[in-house]
Amino acid sequence: MKTEKELNSDILKMTMKIREVYPELLKYMSEMPFKISYAVSNTLNLIALNDYYDSLHMIYKKYATNHQNKF
């Protein structure tokens, strides 16, 4: 599993890519639930970060598939 730093970097890169290529998706990003769990364990936080990245990636890929002209 990736480290917290790596996941945060991946999330930042994906967010920047979405802003650059498909800015119309930003409205959906603000609706995505995301919780950081500091209290329970670092492992749960890593799982939450990974899930959030996967969600961003999935939205990007699905949108790109339907809008090939910009991909």
Instruction: Give the model confidence (pLDDT) of 28-64 as tens digits.
Output: 887 776 665 554 677 888 898 999 999 999 999 999 9
pTM of the model: 0.80
* CA 14-30-26 angle, 5° bins: 55
Contact yes or no for 11/53 (Cβ under 8 A): yes
Instruction: Please tell me the number of Cα atoms within 13 Å of 38 on its side-chain side.
Output: 0
Question: In residues, how long is the chain?
Answer: 71
Burial class (CB in 10 A: 0-12, 13-18, 19+), 29: middle
Sequence spans of domains, the chain: 4-65
